[in-house]
Amino acid sequence: MNTNWERNSSVHLQIVLQKAVKIINSKIGKDFKEKGITTSQFSVLDVLYTKGEMRICELIEKVLSTSGNITVVIKNMENRGWLYKTVSPEDKRAFLVGLTEEGKKLFENLLPQHKSEIENVYSILTSEEKKKLIEILKKFKNLE
């Protein structure tokens, strides 16, 4: 028996939001598997392509991943020739990572299709709805 309160509760909102994110994620990046790349790897490509070489700890913050996971992702990407890892000249205990030419080309190849998938998924919203949803979701930044 659903009451108005239950349909409009925070718990219900969380369930609806999680379902929406799951559906969105299933539609965006589906071609990555076909091209032999994971979503985490694409995120690393994206950050390094747009921000340039950085320390691994900075990369972890930018891709919102755990250090254990990102270490495996970086190692796999390095093995495939998509990125390089080098000791930081300022701090010999830290490593810098950056994209190789092959990594840059891969990202440039994947980006148009990825943008198209994103546009497709969010085409169900009007411009005004997108703007409002962005405003609403940005409120959660205050929880950090």
Tens digits of per-residue pLDDT, 119-142? 999 999 999 999 999 999 999 988
107-117 average pLDDT score: 93
Where along the chain do its domains lie? Answer: 4-143
Please tell me the total number of residues recorded for the chain in this structure: 144
Q: How confident is the model at residue 55 (pLDDT cuts 50, 70, 90)?
A: very high
This prediction's pTM: 0.80
How many CB atoms neighbour CB 44 within 10 A?
Answer: 28
For residue 99, the cross-strand partners are: 83
Say what the pLDDT of residue 8 is.
74
Fold of 4-143: Arc Repressor Mutant, subunit A (1.10.10)
Say what the pLDDT of residue 1 is.
47
Summarize pLDDT for 64-76 with one digit per residue, the tens: 766 678 889 999 9
